[in-house]
Amino acid sequence: MGSKEDYEGLVSEILSCTRCPLYSSRTRAVPGEGPLNASIMFVGEAPGRSEDLEGRPFVGSAGKLLDSLLSSIGVERGGVYITNVVKCRPPGNREPFDSEVRACNPYLRRQISMIKPKIIVALGRIAGRTLYEMAGLRWDSIRAARGRVERVRVEGVDLMLTVTFHPAAALYNPGLREELENDFKNVIAPLVRGFKTVRKTTLEEFFK
Ligand code: URA
């Protein structure tokens, strides 16, 4: 686990980042949130409108679905670390460009090396592809990757990586929503139970 100082340094770098053009249209950068000793990390694509306004990940409608998926498997949102591949909102919620993903990638790398999660759940194609590439795995498609559990090493951290659909996609597609719910129930819940160490400490308690 990284130190509070290292983490706060990283957060302030992200908040003032100008590495790609997204800084010029953002309201707030969204570094991520959760305990620094979290065993589980969820990684989405990029902030949407609500996240850009609040500066927090997954607080809009996709976030509400993520919250209910977490509670359906008995995991408290406050016990997991939640972030995105890209920390600033792409205008109009377009998909981030590869150049933006690349520019932002050092931040995700540093988050993983500080938090040292045991499990990473990638939400959607962009997060899945990015984490597969970081782990040295070959990415084919979300259909091929979804529901698999890969034992990988990322930034020197040994962890289990799984990919599922993005909650935002599932909001508009009932079929995907069912598959997403099944992945939480049949893949993510057993993984979490396997570790049994979803820490309850909130960031505030942790830093007291
Ligand atoms: N979609 C994402 O990928 N991330 C968020 O934080 C919100 C919506």
Q: Which domain holds residue 25?
A: 4-196
Cα 114 from Cα 108, distance rounded (Å): 10
How close is the Cα of 73 to the center of ligand 1, in Å?
20
- Residue 208: its pLDDT value, please? 39
Q: What is the pTM of this model?
A: 0.93
Confidence of residue 196 (pLDDT cuts 50, 70, 90): low
Confidence of residue 161 (pLDDT cuts 50, 70, 90): very high
How close is the Cα of 1 to the center of ligand 1, in Å?
25
Name the DSSP class of 37: T
Is residue 156 a part of any domain in this protein? yes
How close is the Cα of 169 to the center of ligand 1, in Å?
11
pLDDT tens profile 9-33: 999 999 999 999 999 999 999 999 9
End-to-end CA distance of the chain: 16
Six-digit token pair at 13?
Answer: 């770098």
The total domain count for the chain is 1
Is residue 64 a part of any domain in this protein? yes
Return the half-sphere exposure (C-beta side, CA atoms, 13 A cut-off) of residue 70.
21
pLDDT tens profile 78-99: 999 999 999 999 999 999 999 9
| Average pLDDT of the chain, as a whole number | 94
Is residue 16 a part of any domain in this protein? yes
Is residue 203 a part of any domain in this protein? no
How close is the Cα of 88 to the center of ligand 1, in Å?
10
DSSP assignment string, 65-82: HHHHHHHHTT--GGGSEE
- Residue 202: its pLDDT value, please? 42
Q: What is the CATH number of the domain that holds 75?
A: 3.40.470.10
Q: Is the pLDDT of residue 197 over 50?
A: no
The residue assigned the tokens 């570094």 is 31
Pocket residue to mutate for ligand 1, from 58, 59, 83, most atoms within 8 A of Cβ:
58
Is residue 41 a part of any domain in this protein? yes
